[in-house]
Amino acid sequence: MYSPLFFIVLHGIFLVCASNAWSSLKSIPRKTIQYEDNNVITFKGEGVWNYSTMLIREDLGLLVVGAREAVYALDIKDISVAKSEVLWKVTEEKQKECTSKGKHPDIDCRNYVRMLHQMNDSVMYMCGTNAFSPTCDYMTFGDGQLKLEGKQEDGRGKCPFDPFQRSSSVMADQDLYSASSLNFLGSEPVILRTSPISLRTVFKSSWLNEPNFVYMDVVPESEDSPEGDDDKVYMFFSENAVEYDFYNKLVVSRVARVCKGDMGGQRTLQRKWTSFLKARLDCSGPEPSLPYIIQDVFQVRHKKWRKSVFYAVFTSQSSSTDRSSAVCAYDVTDISEVFSRGKFKTEVTVEMSDVKWVTYNGELPVPRPGACINNAARSAGIMRSLDLPDKTLQFIRDRPLMDDAVRPITGKPLLLKRGPLLTRLVVDHVTVSDGQSYPVMFVGTENGYVQKAVNYDGEMHIIEEVKLFQNAESIDVLRLHQNQLYAGSASGVVQMPVSNCSRYSSCLDCVLARDPYCAWDVPSQRCSRLPTSPEDGKSNLIQSLKDGDATRCPTTAPMEPKILSLVLGNNIRLPCYPESNLAQVNWNFPGESLPYPKKKYIIYNDGILLYNASVSDAGRYTCTSVEQVKGRDYTQTLAIYDLREQSAVVVTDKIKTTLGILPEIHTTSSGLHKSEEPPWYSKTQSSESKWIVMQVALAMLSVMMACLLIWNLYMGHISPFMCCGRRQLIKSPRSLPEREYMHTGNDAVDSKQHMVSLCVTTNSGLEATSFHRNANKGDTPTDVCVFKYITDESEI
């Protein structure tokens, strides 16, 4: 029996291995470009939102963009130029009908263009949600104008009802393949082919179980096929798994395919797919977790289809705050192998209640279920799917799920990233100076960034991330065309070049970026775009992608220090901006690295802050960055500062200036001029300087208040003796003014008089509380208080 110590050690080993696996796949972009510096081209229609569909018309030089109730034809070279637009609004009747079903009138009950396809040189096919009533129409572009044909068709199964539900489609030989829903509630998912012979999937959970469709594309597998195989349409989606026993619904990622030549069955599976097969997609990280969920796919096509690759973005389905994303790549031949030679799963009943899915080990019907019509089938007299025997069709009707999962090419993700989730991706193949070709991935995120990444022999390197949108909004669509990247979100469309080599300011920065598009041009001494032909100027370019070897870079001249004045008691900020997020920034002060045992230094990303500067802080501060690539350290000096003590007289002048006191006037040979500000002067004062100024101001204010008080005492406006608030204490009754209070009977007059209480204190030391003119004659009050009204302010 194992001891607890054994399990603790085993768990620790597992954690170390998982940590090493995560760290080996870098997820930190080397350079971050903020929105203010992205230098992109943007487009946004007035009052139009949700730019989620794009169609590249290279023949017309257009980027056709579908949004909410609008379609735009943008210049593909400069999308800020809108050549034409067409509005496709919802009718008032449709909007009322949608609202009556409980949908939001301004959000759900609009027409979101969700599908755009080119049918031929002159006609495009488009579909929109149309207030939860999917509708399709034809659109043309002629004489520089977009035009809707007005030939509306039912869009159920082609376009989703819900504008925020995922769907996918592809046009092949003018046949539309689509994956969407057939009903208002979205509970009848379907993979549909709209053609003279329309086909769809079967309404069974073993076929589609609450799917979320992501991507669809064609692979021409009939080309150079010795088996005489058919072309395939592949679709990617996620759905609730039927093959796992789980306490809750478990979502898994799938890849499915159908044959283009499929015509359905004769009796079984009439008007249904006879070639529909699906398999699980595996893309898991080093840590045990729930299966990652597929979000987007991009096919990198090759002249030889067997070398084509599908790249896919996955996100974790864990509810924890530590979210992560992954990118996996799949070989087309590996997917095809699972469908053509893999085992099937079948459902069995256990204890007359539960249904389990297990591996099917029985004999397979002939022809193989789900296979396309090939030479072997034709030799047996089966020329089309209508000729397939019922035994084969019944098998595929009940068992469309494969037992084997499709594994990624490398056996693990190409990219693992924690933080904001990845949403969309496109991939470009770049041929570099050494003649090799590398796939460069452009991945969109949920907070509006695009990351450029490339895999060098198993090492994923994120070159940069660029913030495309000012707000943190999700990137909903990405397209790539002739070195230009197009991105769409809820607020607009952005166009950016795949590379901007001018961002790399030095040879070291250019080479260590390991950007396949860029190389350091030695004659011009700048980082420039790699020539289209690798032989052009090859000897004059410095580029090292796999190794990041920058030893060939020329030696740069030493950096001159920047002289700054040290103001005693001030806070001093010394900026230092590293060129790479992967570099470690170091500060050095006369022979020692900072921070050393002093609490007055704060080192942050863009510099260092020195608190309460003293004489001992004078000296030279050097900021360097160290970036490690393939075990080599590259050190670069970023900034040098010389702090020199400043005279205290300058501090006094600064306080005078702050208080508004005129500076001294000095006479020179050229005449009178205002004394110059010291070189260290800055409009942003330190907190210590502000405190000194505040103390001086308070002192001056106190002096002024004292002078004011003395002046009022001298003028007699204020008596040094106070009694009962505003009552004045007098020594003798003789000092009382003769005019006493008299009631005039006129309220207006009485209200204008100001009442003053004058008190006389006798030897008794008691204060009278009242005085009446009709007091008893025999009573001689010892204390007299006289209440008078003063009508003249001079009497105060």
Angle, CA of 748, 752 and 755, to the nearest 5°: 125
Lowest mean pLDDT: which of 336-350, 599-613, 707-721? 707-721
Q: What are the angstrom distances between the C-alpha of 784 and each of 692, 726, 770?
A: 53, 16, 8
The alpha carbon torsion through 773, 778, 783, 789 (nearest 10 deg) reads: 10
| Dihedral over Cα of 379, 383, 384, 387: its sign | negative
- Residue 725 is predicted with a pLDDT of 42
Fold of the CATH domain 170-289+334-407: Methylamine Dehydrogenase; Chain H (2.130.10)
Lowest mean pLDDT: which of 237-251, 424-438, 738-752? 738-752
Residues 335 and 310 sit within 8 Å (Cβ to Cβ): yes
Distance CA 487, CA 478 (A): 5
Contacts of 352 (CB under 8 A, 6+ apart): none
Distance CA 243, CA 259 (A): 25
Q: Work out the pLDDT band at 599, boundaries 50, 70, 90.
A: low
- Residue 596 is predicted with a pLDDT of 54
Residues paired with residue 673 on neighbouring β-strands, in sequence order:
666
Q: Report DSSP letters for 136-148, one per residue.
A: EEEEEEETTEEEE
Average pLDDT over all residues of the chain: 82
Distance CA 134, CA 153 (A): 9
- 286: helix, coil or strand? coil
**List of long-range contacts for 552-556, beta carbons under 8 Å, 24+ apart:** 552/511, 553/506, 553/507, 553/508, 553/511, 553/520, 554/507, 554/522, 556/506, 556/507
- Residue 288 is predicted with a pLDDT of 79
- 785: helix, coil or strand? strand
Fold of the CATH domain 562-646: Immunoglobulin-like (2.60.40)
Chain mean position to CA 67: 21
- Residue 709 is predicted with a pLDDT of 84
Residues 45 and 67 sit within 8 Å (Cβ to Cβ): yes
- Residue 317 is predicted with a pLDDT of 87
Q: Report DSSP letters for 490-553, one per residue.
A: SS-EEEEES--GGG--SHHHHHHHT-TTEEEETTTTEEEEPPSSTTTTGGGEE--SSS---TTS
- Residue 743 is predicted with a pLDDT of 40
Q: Which structure tokens are listed for 729?
A: 């204490």
Distance CA 136, CA 134 (A): 7
Residues paired with residue 142 on neighbouring β-strands, in sequence order:
145
Q: Which structure tokens are listed for 579?
A: 């060129």
Q: Which structure tokens are listed for 456?
A: 């060098």
Distance CA 382, CA 50 (A): 48
Distance CA 450, CA 34 (A): 11
Contacts of 38 (CB under 8 A, 6+ apart): 466, 467, 468, 496
Q: What is the DSSP letter of 635?
A: E
- Closest alpha carbon to 579 in 497, 524, 634: 634
Tokens 């509005």 identify what position?
87
Q: In what order do the strands lie in the sheet with 449-456?
A: 31-33, 459-467, 449-456, 437-445, 422-431
- 66: helix, coil or strand? strand
Q: Work out the pLDDT band at 701, boundaries 50, 70, 90.
A: confident
Exposure class string for 408-433: b at 16+ Cβ within 10 A, else e: beeebbbbbbeebbbbbbbbbebebb
Query: Quick check: 45 pLDDT over 90?
Result: yes
Which residues in 261-344 belong to E strands, given as ranges? 277-280, 293-300, 309-315, 324-331
Residues 398 and 421 sit within 8 Å (Cβ to Cβ): no
Q: Work out the pLDDT band at 563, boundaries 50, 70, 90.
A: very high
Distance CA 517, CA 162 (A): 41
Question: Which H helix or E strand runs over 621?
Answer: strand 619-629
Q: Which structure tokens are listed for 499?
A: 């590379």
Query: Quick check: 593 pLDDT over 90?
Result: no
Distance CA 53, CA 47 (A): 17
Distance CA 399, CA 344 (A): 7
Q: How far apart are the first and last CA of the chain?
A: 103
Task: Compute the average pLDDT of residues 589-614.
Answer: 77
Q: Which structure tokens are listed for 445?
A: 């995120």
- 284: helix, coil or strand? coil
Q: Work out the pLDDT band at 699, boundaries 50, 70, 90.
A: confident
Model pLDDT for residues 162-206, shown as the tens digit of each residue: 999 999 999 999 999 999 999 999 999 999 999 999 999 999 999
Q: What are the angstrom distances between the C-alpha of 632 and each of 549, 579, 593?
A: 8, 17, 21
Task: Compute the average pLDDT of residues 69-81.
Answer: 97
Contacts of 552 (CB under 8 A, 6+ apart): 511, 542, 544
Amino acid at 31: K
Q: Work out the pLDDT band at 591, boundaries 50, 70, 90.
A: low
Distance CA 642, CA 457 (A): 45
Task: Compute the average pLDDT of residues 78-86.
Answer: 97
Q: In what order do the strands lie in the sheet with 607-610?
A: 572-575, 607-610, 601-604
Query: Quick check: 692 pLDDT over 70?
Result: no
Q: Which structure tokens are listed for 602?
A: 């704060």
- pTM attached to this predicted model: 0.78
Model pLDDT for residues 474-521, shown as the tens digit of each residue: 999 999 999 999 999 999 999 999 999 999 999 999 999 999 999 999
Q: Work out the pLDDT band at 691, boundaries 50, 70, 90.
A: low
Residues 166 and 213 sit within 8 Å (Cβ to Cβ): yes
The alpha carbon torsion through 314, 318, 322, 327 (nearest 10 deg) reads: -10
Model pLDDT for residues 733-770, shown as the tens digit of each residue: 333 333 333 344 444 334 434 333 334 333 333 333 33
Q: Work out the pLDDT band at 322, boundaries 50, 70, 90.
A: confident
| Dihedral over Cα of 425, 427, 428, 431: its sign | positive
Q: Which of 250-264, 685-699, 777-791 has the highest mean pLDDT?
A: 250-264
Q: What are the angstrom distances between the C-alpha of 594 and each of 221, 568, 574, 602?
A: 63, 20, 13, 9
- 62: helix, coil or strand? strand
Model pLDDT for residues 775-794, shown as the tens digit of each residue: 343 444 444 444 444 444 43
Angle, CA of 135, 140 and 141, to the nearest 5°: 140
Task: Compute the average pLDDT of residues 461-477.
Answer: 96
- 479: helix, coil or strand? strand
Task: Compute the average pLDDT of residues 70-92.
Answer: 97
Q: What are the angstrom distances between the C-alpha of 110 and each of 120, 153, 346?
A: 28, 17, 43
Helices (H) and strands (E) in the chain, counts: 9, 48
- Closest alpha carbon to 570 in 617, 619, 613: 613
Angle, CA of 139, 140 and 146, to the nearest 5°: 90
Q: What are phi and psi of 221, to 5 degrees?
A: -75, -5
Q: Which structure tokens are listed for 109?
A: 């009950």
- Residue 739 is predicted with a pLDDT of 37
Q: From the CB of residue 709, how many other CB atoms can be counted at a distance below 10 Å?
A: 11
